[in-house]
Amino acid sequence: MLDFIQQLKNRNESLFYYGLICLVLSLVFISLTKITNTQVYNVNAWYKPFKFAFSTFLFAWAMAWYCHYLPNFNIQLFNWSVIILLGFEIFYITFQASKGQLSHYNVSTPVFAALYTMMALAASLVTLYTAYIGIIFCTNSFPELPDYYIWAIRLGIFIFVVFSFEGFAMGSRLNHSVGALNNNSNWLIIGWSKTVGDLRVSHFIGMHALQLLPILSYYLLKNTKLTIGLSVAYGLLALLTLIQALQGKPLIRAKNSQNEINNKM
């Protein structure tokens, strides 16, 4: 682990430290869930900034590692795009959580609507930049690296981009639930609904293909066909959870949940 951290720092010092800051922030935010009672839609307000900070940490470190392989790539432009755009997103989510107010889906005032639009634009630009990196991986050869590993990176980026943009399915509805209004549960830290469809499930699964597929391919599968097969299966899993959510069905339904009665639209 120490060797990996040192290599990561050497590969991309800017994203290494940015990811580290996001990791520290995520630990602060999860600690705040234990000592504060501020809630948004029946869950502690600090869970959302925790999830976004931790997810950004994983994204920053993964892309810092992968971009090292790219020939003639302007890494500093990408670094600062990620730092500024996703930094703004985390800042706004944190600011709204501190006030016990919504960040996502909040169009209650012209200012909040503009900031929500800016946040969506920031996430979209980072996703498009990541898609461009995926194209570079597809149009270049990397003879020094195993084919199965490169295919895992390519397919991981592709699935990430598709299900990152699935976030527009939530944004267009101003609602991450199907069958209720922004329903949440106390299911671990992720808070997915146990009573209605939750579009965040497929969003989460798809976006983290970026980290999971290359790790499994490099350390476990070590085979191109198995890597492609796993990637297809993983993408289908994300798609099936999206279809399930759109049908108003939770990933795991709670028994005798009072929320099913209270939160119905």
Q: What is the pLDDT of residues 166-222, one digit of tens each?
A: 999 999 999 999 998 888 887 778 889 999 999 999 999 999 999 999 999 999 999
pLDDT of residue 262: 46
* Burial of 9 (C-beta count, 10 Å sphere; 0-12/13-18/19+): middle
Q: How many domains does the chain have?
A: 1
- Rounded (5°) CA angle 177-48-163: 55
Partners of 39 in the β-ladder: 44
DSSP three-state, residue 51: helix
pLDDT of residue 255: 67
Domain hosting 218: range is 2-262
pLDDT of residue 52: 97
pLDDT of residue 265: 44
* Burial of 80 (C-beta count, 10 Å sphere; 0-12/13-18/19+): middle
pLDDT of residue 257: 52
Q: What is the pLDDT of residues 128-157, one digit of tens each?
A: 999 999 999 999 999 999 999 999 999 999
More confident residue, 17 or 181: 17
β pairing state of 43-44 and 39-40: antiparallel
Q: How many CB atoms lie within 10 A of CB 129?
A: 16
pTM of the predicted protein model:
0.93
Q: What is the pLDDT of residues 80-125, one digit of tens each?
A: 999 999 999 999 999 999 999 999 999 999 999 999 999 999 999 9
